[in-house]
Structure 1
Amino acid sequence: MDKDRVKGTVKQATGKAKEGIGKLTGDAALEVEGKIEKAEGGIQKTYGKAKDALRKS
């Protein structure tokens, strides 16, 4: 498994947590930061999957 997949998964989880905390506390900036971090994690995870696929082919 590519390290970008792992880092992306962690980043998604962190972003999801920030988003949830932002919603609970009414902190819109933290909520947006979490959404952005979650999206970045998804992109990084997809990049890692693509690298894995290239290695296998």
Structure 2
Amino acid sequence: MAEIRDHDRRLQQVETQLEYCCSVLSWMAEAMSQSDMVKVSKPAPLLHDPTLKPPG
């Protein structure tokens, strides 16, 4: 049982770190989109989620 609690605690830490990283990346993307310093020649990549099944 202690092993499950330890895994759960570690998973929560990873989720917290991932949320922080996503927030930082969003902040950076917003800052860069409002700046003239970075010129973009192609659109942002699309999310490819292998767990999603194609329609049909």
TM-score interval, normalised by the smaller of the two chains? 0.5 to 0.7
CA displacement 1:10-36 (0-9 Å, x = unmatched)? xxxxxxxxxxxxxxxx61000000000
Question: Normalising by the residue count of structure 2, what TM-score does the alignment of the two structures yield?
Answer: 0.54
Structure 2 unaligned regions, length at least 5: 35-56
The count of corresponding residues between Structure 1 and Structure 2 is 32
Q: Percent identity?
A: 0
- Structure 1 stretches of 4+ with a deviation exceeding 6 A read none
Question: Normalising by the residue count of structure 1, what TM-score does the alignment of the two structures yield?
Answer: 0.54
Higher relative contact order (CA 8 A, sep 6+): 1
**Whole-angstrom distance in 2 between the partners of 1:44 and 1:56:** 18
Structure 1 unaligned regions, length at least 5: 1-25
Larger helix percent: 1
**Whole-angstrom distance in 1 between the partners of 2:33 and 2:27:** 10
